[in-house]
Chain A
Amino acid sequence: MSSDAIAIQPAEAAGRPWVETLHEWVTTVDHKRLGILYILYALFFLVIGGIEATVIRIQLMRPHNDFVSPQVFNRMFTMHGTTMIFFVAMPVLFGFANYLVPLMIGARDMAFPRLNAFSFWLTAFGGLLLYFSFVGGNGLYGAGNAPDVGWWAYAPLASRAFSPGHSSDYWTIALLASGFGSIGTAINIIATIISMRCPGMKLSRMPLLAWLNLVMSGMVLLAITPLSAAQLMLLVDRYLGGHFFDTQAGGSATLWMHFFWIFGHPEVYVLIIPCFAFASEIIPVFSRKPIFGYPVMVGATVCIAFVSMSVWAHHMFTIGMNSYANSFFTITTMAVGVPTGIKIFNWLGTMWGGKIQFKTPMLFCIGFLFQFLIAGLTGIMMASSPFDWQLSGSYFVVAHFHYVIVGGILFALFGAFYYWYPKITGRMLNESLGKLHFWLFLVGFHVTFDLMHIPGLLGMPRRIYTYEPGRGWDTLNFLVTIGAFIQGIATVVFVANLIISYFKGAMAGNDPWDAWTLEWSVSSPPPVYNFASIPRVASRRPLWDLKHPEDPDSRYE
């Protein structure tokens, strides 16, 4: 049966016509294949988003540069943000969740395999629709093209009056489609985790990756939907003459802001929580100790999920809310730093007293820890709303959130790639290339994003296609651009590693890292049915118990 041929030995696959393989992949409902499709899709858009970032940085390399026109620049930053959040970060995280969750909880697939496939293709369609705007966006007034209203599409800038043509519609509809795809996947993850755990795997014995994806999926249900609702309202305004955000008819521009950020803030936690999951799986294995404080890690994450629903207006400190509202959002934003900090301490506690092995996955997770700490602290600075009245809308914010997204999320993701690539493909990624990738990226990241904070402190706003010379911003912007190129080179090294190792990497075997969760009990890559027979577990680390029958975890839990 061709469905057995997940093991990707080139020799085996050579005999089959490529159309058959393509057909299998396009019609698959297997969580592992869909996971890979999500990840490949995200990698493709990572490169595209990176190119957009490079265009931005070249334009900003010196003041009054004319590398691109203001119109093109505005499209670049809009598309860069939209792409990276919705077509890189969300898909890659759903991809890893799709691949790993059933394996880690001892299930054969997700709860709803066809919904899984449908959700992926819906998301994929959204991305293609968004990019079609570059060619198809010309609307009635010839003012169409890719969207240029920023990835928040603030009202009334995104209304018909100020965005004629169809560019904003591409943004709206593409995100509606991928939003529904995300909701579908979130439903799937929750149903899988609740209903398909193997015998013995109580919720308190699930790997943290499963727990954190459960929390993240719950947040997706509650966070993406306000954006979908707001986008439906925007469509009503743009196409049916509605007035939801029409200030001329008494509508409110700030209502859009509230709806958007009620989505937007939990969204960033949706993005970071699976990365916490990666760190929580990788750091213990490479410290050779269990995660420190498992129940607290779960509790802190649930706490973050709840509190993060109450902080959204810290993105709106400058819109003129009264002092009581500003104070409220200040304290909730600072409060969400507490459970987040607890998690950092727990990872520290995991490493304390361990025997740390500096393989590439661990290097990236250590980078994640340092950088996420700094990102969290700049976040606390901006939580203080008067300080934010200076910092908001400036390059300080841009530096902060890239510190989280690149320094935190992307680093943890790289760690996840190096850690689970052997499981997915059966081959190890090259360790020397991995270390080169790490150090190059680390240097490039810090050159760009450490320095980027400074122009913000010196008054440089964001989303500007050029700036005035002599304000102290010139050299810094130039250096920031250099760092971007270094990161680009590091990414090329990474992609090369992915490709070369696929064909030439050392064979991985079941368990190259001597790890403890169920996915390492099956072959690399796993058979299509995952487990020959459904396992039964008695602790959080079933493979530790097997390898250490004299001192199993089940004795202590």
Chain B
Amino acid sequence: MSATTTPLPESPVAWKLPYRGRVGMACLIFAESAIFTIFVVAYLYYVGKSLTGPTPREVLDTPIFYTICLLSSSLTIHFAGKLLERGRRGAFLLLWLLTIALGALFLYGTGQEWHRLIYEHGLTISTNLFGTTYYSLVGLHAFHVTAGLVMLSVVLFFGLAGRVGPEHSARVDVLSLYWHFVDAVWVVVFTVVYVLGR
């Protein structure tokens, strides 16, 4: 059936295109940015419009420490990637673990803050417009952090089993891109919620 394929010239010359994993992740980030943008727009639109209930100024505490944790995890993951490229598997795993720990710490901080808001100030997602938009936006981000941690843990697991080497650098790099994105989103969320929105 395939005997009559029209012959086409063969290809001797080098032809280098971007790595598809990177392109795919860039597209995902592009799409996710749009989702976050909509939630940010809703948050900003509703600033000051709640009819009742606690206001941001009354109840929000700026989470400086946990922000530093999360943003540092971008640094650690960056260096972990570089170490993996150079074949330093042990050091890579250490920094990778540190990244996960910092991310987990950030999540813990978010949980703690939510606990305080709910039990001490009575602010829930259904309390008022601020509650709805705050928990949705911060929660969406926390969800993405969680998803990221899951993926990072998968890599950690395979790494501990000795299955991750320099040949996987490109893929690990793609995952780091996602993690950097999650951190960049936090910068925006932090600015909108704790700086502009008060």
Contacts and interface: CB of A to CB of B under 8 A. Distances in A.
Q: Do chains A and B touch in the complex (CB under 8 A)?
A: yes
B20 A222 contact: no
B42 interface: yes
A484 interface: no
B74 interface: no
Interface stretch (B31-39, B146-154, B177-185): B31-39
B6 A250 contact: no
Contact of A241 (B39, B50, B126): B126
Contacts of A526: 2
A240 B42 contact: no
Majority DSSP secondary structure for residues of B touching A: loop
Interface of A: 7, 111-112, 115, 183, 186-188, 190-192, 194-200, 217-218, 221-222, 224-226, 228-230, 232-233, 236-237, 240-244, 249-252, 255, 259, 262, 509-511, 518, 520-523, 526-527, 531-538, 542-543, 546
Contact of A546 (B2, B8, B23, B49): B8
Interface string B24-52: 10011011101100110010011001110
A536 B125 CA distance: 58
A124 to B, nearest CB: 21
B32 A243 contact: no
Nearest to B13: A199
A12 to B, nearest CB: 10
B119 interface: no
B27 A243 contact: no
Q: Which 3 pairs, one residue from A and one from B, show the smallest C-beta to C-beta distance?
A: A241-B126, A229-B38, A195-B20
Nearest to B31: A221
Given A226-B34, A509-B4, A532-B2, A112 B20 contact: yes
A244 B13 contact: no
A522 B31 contact: no
B2 A527 contact: yes
Contacts of B30: 218, 221-222
A243 B129 contact: yes
Contacts of A546: 6-8
Contacts of B11: 198-200, 534-536
Contacts of A534: 11
B6 A543 contact: yes
A535 B7 CA distance: 9
Contact of B34 (A190, A222, A243): A222
B132 A191 contact: no
A191 B17 contact: no
A252 B18 CA distance: 44
A159 B15 CA distance: 54
A232 B133 CA distance: 12
A237 to B, nearest CB: 8
A241 B131 CA distance: 10
A289 B51 CA distance: 65
B24 A187 contact: yes
Given A535-B8, A546-B8, A195 B17 contact: yes
B8 A250 contact: no
Contacts of B132: 236-237, 242-244
